[in-house]
Amino acid sequence: MRKARDADTLRDVLGSHLEDLQRMSMIVQDMLFLSQADRGAEARREHVASLAGVARAVVELHEAAIEEAGLKPGVDITIISIDGVRGAFEAMKAGKLNVTVECNPLLGPQLMQLAKDVVAKKPVEKRIKVIEGVFTADQAAKELPNRKY
């Protein structure tokens, strides 16, 4: 990411890392569980309804630690999120996040059409591109009203 790249190249690079990011999210969940277990907490019995909620808990934990160290998140430490949710844009507006890379969850209609095409034995592209973006803090205020998630 140190050299300038066009949007298509960035989308391809980021798209190719999505599976790794999903694995990393599971590792983070496991680490949070182990941390809580180390303090005597028991394993959850319920289904985790929102991975975003788990991610928020991780962010709040790290944000508090950064601030306790006398540093400002987004100012003294560059912070990049992989989600593009409304909360990320609000954090950028507040100066606590520098960049968010969108991982668009609104691809349901596109996925359903793809499934219908496969069932109908229509030709489909080998790789389906989802419309996503990379947003910086200076774009947050303008883009925030457009967030549907």
The answer to the question of residue 2 being in a domain is no
What amino acid is encoded at 84 in this protein?
Answer: G
Question: Is residue 1 one of the residues assigned to a domain?
Answer: no
Contact 109, 132 (CB under 8 A): no
Reduce the DSSP state of residue 126 to 3 states and report it.
coil
- Indicate the pLDDT class of residue 16, thresholds 50, 70 and 90: low
Q: What domain count does the chain have?
A: 1
The long-range contacts involving 56-60, CB below 8 angstroms and separated by at least 24 positions, are: 56/87, 57/32, 58/28, 58/32
Q: What is the b/e burial string over 107-141, where b = at least 16 CB atoms within 10 angstroms of the residue's CB?
A: eeeeeeeeeeeeeeeeeeeeeeeeebebbebeebe
Residue 79 has pLDDT above 80, yes or no: yes
Mean pLDDT computed over 104-130? 84
Q: Is the residue at 33 inside a domain?
A: yes
List the structure tokens of 77. Answer: 């430490």
pTM over 0.85: no
pLDDT at 45: 62
DSSP string, 1-46: --S---HHHHHHHHHHTHHHHHHHHHHHHHHHHHHHHHTTPPPP-S
CA-wise closest residue to 132 among 3, 25, 8: 8
pLDDT tops 90 at residue 122 = yes
Q: Is residue 90 part of a domain?
A: yes
Asked if residue 73 belongs to a domain, the reply is yes
**In a domain? residue 66:** yes
Residue 5 confidence (pLDDT) above 80: no
Higher pLDDT, 92 or 28: 92
- Residue 42 placed within a domain: yes
Pairwise CA distance, residues 92 & 78, whole Å: 11
Phi and psi dihedrals of 15, rounded to 5?
-65, -35
pLDDT in tens, 27-58: 777 777 777 776 776 665 666 666 667 666 77
